[in-house]
Amino acid sequence: MAGLLGSVFLLVLQTYAAPPEFIQVWPSASTSGPGLLANETVTPSLVPPPGTSKHTPHSIIIGVRKGGTRALLEMLDIHPEVAAAATEVHFFDWDENYSKGLEWYRELMPYSYPHQITIEKTPGYFTSPLAPARIRAMNSSIRLLLILRDPAERVISDYTQVYFNRLENHKPVQAIEDMLVRNGALNTRYKAIQRSLYDVHMRNWLLHFPLEQIHIVDGDTLIRDPLPELQKVERFLELPPRIVASNFYFNQTKGFYCIRSDGRERCLHESKGRPHPPVNSTVLQQLRSYFRQHNRNFYRLVGRTFNWH
């Protein structure tokens, strides 16, 4: 991956924090940073609104993949004192030139006012062996948000996303049972299963951060009744209570809550909430049995329980 050229303006993706009238194209540059290919077309940057600045985030949604990270970020973006990053960064599990990347990372954050907190979400951080130490090195007092779902359901959602992505790209697909089972036994090396070993990954984070700095959002509850979970996040981030019940409405067609704010209504992307494939009951039971002890271990680590099977 190409190194950074410190003397050249870095081009960033449009964020939620600046209104359209501040859009301006920076002079063209051929530089690239983590996640940008050298020949990739870069989105125009923004002239900062007066009184705003860019900086590393005050809080990061660290995961978990298919746990509801996008829903959580978009729901928090309702809050007037939140500036949400528009793109996933995958910076803290990046292998090259880490020490040179913090400036690039800051440039991908939204413009924010002094009274706002900046939040970034990259769900791969939770399972990254590198991310905890690197995030701590950047900001040892940062507040971390971790959103989790029933680990077996998360595995099925993980498979579903990959399945549809492969279909859209005209690639061959396998039945979920063929991914979950090898030679008659549960395929515990399957990456989707590895991502759901919450206790294993949590131990790594607790080596670098006290539990008090990690707020766990119940992703299953967020889907059913978002407001109570978001109010807990407001308190954890020490935000004034601004998110209210009228910010949400249940979309009968989609089968989940959508967002209402600033006179607009919006739902998550159509790729969210896709129906899960049916799973052989014996295989599903194997999966749930495998996670049972890992779940107990996780409950002990975090001092609370969840309604996971």
CATH of the domain at 181: 3.40.50.300
Binding residues: 66-70, 149, 157, 257, 272-276
pLDDT, mean of residues 91-105: 80
Share of residues in the chain with pLDDT > 70 (%): 83
Domain that holds residue 257: 20-302
Structure tokens that stand for 278 in this block? 């049916």
For residue 215, being part of any structural domain is answered with yes
Q: Catalytic residue among 66, 100, 121, 232, which?
A: 66
Query: Which of the pair, 188 or 29, is modelled with greater confidence?
Result: 188
Contact 245, 227 (CB under 8 A): yes
For residue 225, being part of any structural domain is answered with yes
For residue 61, being part of any structural domain is answered with yes
For residue 2, being part of any structural domain is answered with no
66 tagged catalytic: yes
pTM of the model: 0.84
pLDDT, mean of residues 197-203: 98
Nearest-angstrom CA–CA distance, 125 and 144: 11
Query: Is residue 172 over pLDDT 90?
Result: yes
E strands along 74-170, which residues? 82-84, 117-121, 143-148
Nearest-angstrom CA–CA distance, 242 and 249: 17
Confidence of residue 5 (pLDDT cuts 50, 70, 90): very low
Closest CA to 287 of 137, 187, 166: 187
Lowest mean pLDDT among 169-183, 220-234, 257-271: 257-271
For residue 269, being part of any structural domain is answered with yes
Contact 124, 92 (CB under 8 A): no
Confidence of residue 17 (pLDDT cuts 50, 70, 90): very low
Contact 136, 128 (CB under 8 A): no
Q: What is the pLDDT of residue 275?
A: 78
Binding residues for 3'-phosphoadenylyl sulfate: 66-70, 149, 157, 257, 272-276
Query: Which of the pair, 44 or 196, is modelled with greater confidence?
Result: 196
Count of the separate structural domains present in the chain:
1
For residue 12, being part of any structural domain is answered with no
Nearest-angstrom CA–CA distance, 184 and 233: 43
For residue 185, report the phi and psi dihedrals to the nearest 5 degrees: -120, 160
For residue 281, being part of any structural domain is answered with yes
Which helix (H) or strand (E) segment holds residue 191: the answer is helix 191-195
Q: What is the pLDDT of residue 270?
A: 62
